[in-house]
Structure 1
């Protein structure tokens, strides 16, 4: 693929076709990077396609790229990991989502848990959900993935547990044995990360009843935004594309 900024555009790619860049990326390309007509860019549709393109219009109000070539994207892990991440405050959730995407997660569900101290409702929840999905798309621009993982709307932990069917299901729980050594390579996996205050004993029991095995990440207690980075790294090294 050509050099140039990598931009997520949810559009149909066809060779010779023109794509109008969304407002945010257009502003970045024209005003921050100061790229003009003829500059190369790379586009990805979020569903698996990459495109090599060139700018044919680069005004202050409108930026248009013309598609020169289309190909299948790269960077997807052979292991599909579905992350249930307890919602945390401020930038911590952004960090967890960003790094999970970089480490190849297939989808993320923000979870309301007993000890979690974040409760979102109505318009505030919708805005935060849209923000988290944008964080995932931005992470894909940086790390080279052509598929943007879905960030599902926040939901209670019990609902997420009821829908789990992955071959390998893991819940982070300090002080327990590691659960990866004797496991055959699974087709997919579910990973549950609790909040800063940890999952309650009832929530751990509910996860165990839903087929989850406890996973310890060593003698130190990790922050809720650090835990998915370490756990996903272990999973990708053991079963995915970091081997």
Structure 2
């Protein structure tokens, strides 16, 4: 039976009992850093659901081969599909947000550039950041026991992203607001939720109006002003516990 103390490795490949495969470069480096040896047990997951028991069969200088043994149909995901759309906080705060949101069970993260954003990304730099945040999500999923890795969507400008949302989408849409907002806990429960929060300084009045036109309901997390990286995590924790 799989043990939570066994090293967990994410692989983007089909898995089947009895198959052998080389680990991708990232998991291979992880196995080597842990000084694993042939015969040592590892747990694999690929996002298709559950985990796979496996064993190291070969440790090369840079390659690691494993034998897949048995599937464990575990499920540690939230009962609600939550997407966080966030005005990206600057510096390492976005890394921290992605890591902690993954641990809390987020399904997807949509990085946004807003009018008051300090961090502004586009082109190749944005693509590299998304790849980096995806790697952060993979590492957090390996550590916390998740069987799926949340999606990190391409960076978008908030106005264009709002305009592209399908009208009347299923589930709850909520935007963090200090104006005429209901407590998030009082909004109706749903099987999916899309939560929008702004960057440092929050959303402008015009951006909030765009969100409301796209079907978002104004929501409050209480009387205190939370940081840009704290507010979406508080919302995720609240939605996930409902």
Residue of structure 2 equivalent to 1:21: 23
1:46 Cα shift?
Answer: 2.2
Q: Is the 8 A contact 2:113 2:121 kept in 1?
A: no
Q: Does 1:229 align with 2:233?
A: yes
Q: What does residue 160 of structure 1 align with?
A: 161
Task: Please list every run of 5 or more consecutive structure 1 residues that lacks an aligned counterpart in the other structure.
Answer: 239-243
8 Å CA contact 1:88, 1:196 repeated in 2: yes
Matched residue count: 237
Q: CA deviation at 1:153?
A: 0.4
What are the within-5 Å matches in structure 2 for residues 101-112 of structure 1? Answer: 101-112=102-113
**Residue 137 of structure 2 corresponds to which residue in structure 1?**
136
1:78-116 CA distance string (max 9 Å, x none): 111111011122211111111111111111110010100
TM-superposed deviation, 1:176: 4.7
2:83 is the counterpart of 1:79:
no
CA shift in 2, pair 1:181/1:125, >3 Å: closer
- The residue number in structure 1 matching 2:177 is 173
Secondary structure of the structure 2 residue equivalent to 1:12: coil
Q: SS where residue 126 of structure 1 aligns?
A: helix
Structure 2 distance, partners of 1:48, 1:96, is: 24
Structure 1 range deviating more: 198-207 or 13-22: 13-22
Structure 1, 170-179 or 102-111: larger mean CA deviation = 170-179
Displacement after TM superposition at 1:59 (Å):
2.2
SS in structure 2 of the partner of residue 120 of structure 1: coil
Worse-matched range after superposition: 89-98 or 157-166: 157-166
Root mean square deviation of aligned Cα = 1.6
The alpha-carbon deviation at position 73 of structure 1 amounts to 3.9
Match of 1:66 in 2: 67
Q: Which moved more, 1:88-97 or 1:171-180?
A: 171-180
Stretches of 4+ moved more than 6 A in 1?
A: none
Deviations 1:18-67 (A, max 9, x none): 1211222212212x211100000000002324110000011222111100
For residue 145 of structure 1, what is the aligned residue in structure 2? 146
Q: For 1:41 and 1:15, locate their aligned partners in 2 and report how far apart those are by CA, in whole Å.
A: 14
Note the residue ranges of structure 2 that are not aligned, 5 or more in a row.
none
Residue among 177, 190, 195 paired with 1:191: 195
Q: Distance in 1 between matches of 2:19 and 2:170?
A: 40
With over 3 angstroms needed to count, the CA separation of the structure-2 counterparts of 1:214 and 1:184, relative to structure 1, is closer
TM norm structure 2: 0.92
Measured in 2, the distance between the counterparts of 1:62 and 1:132 equals 25
* TM, length-normalised to structure 1: 0.91
